[in-house]
Chains A and B, each alone.
Chain A
Amino acid sequence: MTRPAPNGTASGTPVPRTPVSRTPAPLVLGIETSCDETGVGLVRDGVLLADALASSVDEHARYGGVIPEIAARAHLEAMVPTIERALATAGAKASDIDAVAVTAGPGLAGALLVGVAAAKAYALALGVPLYGIHHLAAHVAVDTLEHGPLPSPSVALLVSGGHSSLLLVEDLAAAPVVSLGATVDDAAGEAYDKVARLLGMPFPGGPPIDRAARDGTPTIPFPRGKAGDGTFDFSFSGLKTAVARWVEARRRAGEPVPVADVAASFQEAVVDVLTAKAVAAARTHGVDTLVIGGGVAANSRLRVLAAERCEAAGITLRVPRPGLCTDNGAMVAALGSLKAAAGVAPSPLDLPASSTLPLGA
């Protein structure tokens, strides 16, 4: 069947597309400043258009950890240039933005505040809605940019320098993410940093330990904190101490420290507990999809072991590419985009930045 050409256009000439009645999906700007990365992402309709990042990690390296005041100063410096870079990458103008999303917590108070203030100012200037976003929920949402909508419910394992959490996720846009368990002491990434320092490796400790571990064998039986205790909580403080004791005993005895084996054994202890508990959580809740996010999700051994165990348990494993696992603006824009599309009520302009923002907020 041929459609009559509008306005009497002769057939054969290209017909100008009449505007579709539905409005285009909103272009969402996402701002993330909960730790040491200033991230700005642009997402429309589940498609990542830009993901600009400025990191102050080098300024923190000499202190062996993130210094909140240095991070906050760096966020202030980087904010406008990073937004402009994201806009340039997406070929968009500020006035094209339909909504602004921002990490409202949890994270470093002073760092969060810079991002939240910037997001409010942007939303106010453009007269567009503002969405306060939970950092952990955003870590889960970023996977939808790569692998499409998340089956409901799913289980998410988030591991980084700041968090180690197991979450039950139903409707990311509208329902609060439920915490199944979390670390009771150090985050997994923190344990990596401390063990790296002990072994004379640079900060952050994840990548150098991962590299060293590839040449080692996990022969040292370091403790698996809280393994098999029936909870979905983690503990890495005892492991960190056990590694330190082992290494110091060697040094005192004047024996060489087998760095690669220590790294491999430590790493095995961490990823063993993480993956075992993640799979157990999925089984307990009858869930067939596991998402892994956070900076430690870039760890090669975690990826391999998680894939093995998920396959054995009949669970679909979803891990975003490493660049999306670490803190970034794309994850915030991704969740903001889901909220905007679902018609979730925006946040008020007096939205506080909360370093301890609970998941239900």
Chain B
Amino acid sequence: MLALDTSTPACSVALVQIPDAAPRPGAMRPLASPQVVDARRHGELLSPLMRDTLAEAGVKPADLAGVVVGLGPGPFTSLRVGIVTAATFAAALGLTCHGVCSLDGIGAVTSGRTGVVTDARRREVFWAGYADGERIAGPAVDRPGRAAELLRADGVDVVVGPGLALYPDVFPNVVAAGAGAGVAAAQYPDPAVLAALAAPDLLAGRAPAPLTPIYLRRPDVAEPHPAKAVTG
């Protein structure tokens, strides 16, 4: 199974061998899981990264059983690169492509009540809340302060993910509690975790849901005013 995520500045790929029974998200060791961090170049980096990952593992595209992709939330442009790449790659091979909320790529391997925050730009964060790896709130986009408030309301006292470093003052609880946060969560969504989450559907031969990107924001457009006079 090939899994990828482009919902953050990281461009992440994982090649995983799915065992016969559905694996626990944290228990699956990928054959390869390269990651390149460059927020503006997903479109250039992703396909070569997939090519090299397959080549180094000696796996041909035709050997794959399925494709998994993080659906976001994330910046629109990089998110689309990942989703269209996964969808088209799968279609060319006649494989199914399974979409998973990208935040689950961090949250599914946490324990206790944990929040995941990533950078949504414009001084906002994408966030979700987890109870022992199960998503109980979100995904949503909010101001960091509001996200912290909503997470606290869900009993969350530990926050992980790349949004943390951006707003250390908003999520200060983590600094103290971080060491006891159970499984050390990856900084960026881990596609191997996404693959484990999609594995039950793949193993059961269930048709995946349509790949709907989790944008959480509308396009920034306004309807035009009536034609303005150019004279007088």
Q: Hey, which bits of chain A sit against chain B, CB under 8 A?
A: 62-65, 67, 69-70, 72-73, 75-76, 79-80, 83-84, 94, 110, 113-114, 116-122, 124-127, 197-198, 241, 244-245, 248-249, 252, 348-353
Cβ–Cβ contact A83 & B91, under 8 A? yes
Given the known A-B contacts A117-B46, A121-B47, A353-B43, are A80 and B231 also in contact in the complex, defined by CB atoms under 8 Å? Answer: no
How many angstroms between the C-alpha atoms of A117 and B43 in the bound complex? 6
Cβ–Cβ contact A121 & B76, under 8 A? no
Q: Is B180 an interface residue (CB 8 A)?
A: no
How many angstroms between the C-alpha atoms of A127 and B93 in the bound complex? 11
How many angstroms between the C-alpha atoms of A117 and B213 in the bound complex? 16
Which of B47, B91, B215, B227 is within 8 Å of A120, CB to CB?
Answer: B47
Q: How far is the CB of B89 from chain A (nearest CB, A)?
A: 4
Given the known A-B contacts A125-B61, A248-B231, are A64 and B224 also in contact in the complex, defined by CB atoms under 8 Å? Answer: yes
Cβ–Cβ contact A120 & B85, under 8 A? yes
Q: Is B51 an interface residue (CB 8 A)?
A: yes
Give 14 pairs: A residue, B residue, CB < 8 Å, sorted on A.
Answer: A69-B76, A69-B220, A69-B221, A72-B77, A72-B80, A73-B219, A76-B80, A79-B88, A117-B47, A118-B85, A118-B88, A122-B91, A124-B50, A124-B89
How many angstroms between the C-alpha atoms of A124 and B46 in the bound complex? 11
How many angstroms between the C-alpha atoms of A124 and B232 in the bound complex? 58
Residues of chain B contacted by A245 (CB below 8 angstroms): 230-231
Q: Is B84 an interface residue (CB 8 A)?
A: yes
Residues of chain A contacted by B77 (CB below 8 angstroms): 72, 110, 113
Q: Is B100 an interface residue (CB 8 A)?
A: no
The secondary structure that dominates the B interface is helix
Q: How far is the CB of B75 from chain A (nearest CB, A)?
A: 11
Cβ–Cβ contact A197 & B43, under 8 A? no
Given the known A-B contacts A73-B219, A80-B87, are A117 and B80 also in contact in the complex, defined by CB atoms under 8 Å? Answer: yes
Cβ–Cβ contact A69 & B219, under 8 A? yes
Residues of chain A contacted by B90 (CB below 8 angstroms): 125
Cβ–Cβ contact A122 & B44, under 8 A? no
Which of A69, A350, A353 is within 8 Å of B47, CB to CB?
Answer: A350
Q: How far is the CB of A2 from chain B (nearest CB, A)?
A: 46
Q: How far is the CB of B141 from chain A (nearest CB, A)?
A: 16
Q: Is B229 an interface residue (CB 8 A)?
A: yes
How many angstroms between the C-alpha atoms of A65 and B222 in the bound complex? 11
Which of B51, B84, B221 is within 8 Å of A349, CB to CB?
Answer: B51
Cβ–Cβ contact B227 & A76, under 8 A? no
Closest partner residue, chain A, to B210 (CB atom):
A77
User: 7 other contacts beyond A252-B232, A353-B43, with CB at 8 A cut-off?
Assistant: A63-B224, A69-B220, A72-B80, A73-B76, A110-B77, A124-B89, A351-B44
Q: How far is the CB of B217 from chain A (nearest CB, A)?
A: 10
Cβ–Cβ contact A248 & B51, under 8 A? no
Which of A70, A84, A110, A122 is within 8 Å of B80, CB to CB?
Answer: A110
Given the known A-B contacts A72-B77, A72-B80, are A127 and B87 also in contact in the complex, defined by CB atoms under 8 Å? Answer: no
Given the known A-B contacts A63-B221, A72-B80, A350-B44, are A121 and B230 also in contact in the complex, defined by CB atoms under 8 Å? Answer: no
Cβ–Cβ contact B76 & A110, under 8 A? yes
> Hey, what's the 0/1 contact readout for B65-103 against A, CB within 8 Å counting as 1?
000000000001100110111111111111000000000
Residues of chain B contacted by A249 (CB below 8 angstroms): 231
How many angstroms between the C-alpha atoms of A124 and B55 in the bound complex? 11
Cβ–Cβ contact B221 & A67, under 8 A? yes
Q: Is B45 an interface residue (CB 8 A)?
A: yes
Q: How far is the CB of A279 from chain B (nearest CB, A)?
A: 32
How many angstroms between the C-alpha atoms of A62 and B225 in the bound complex? 11
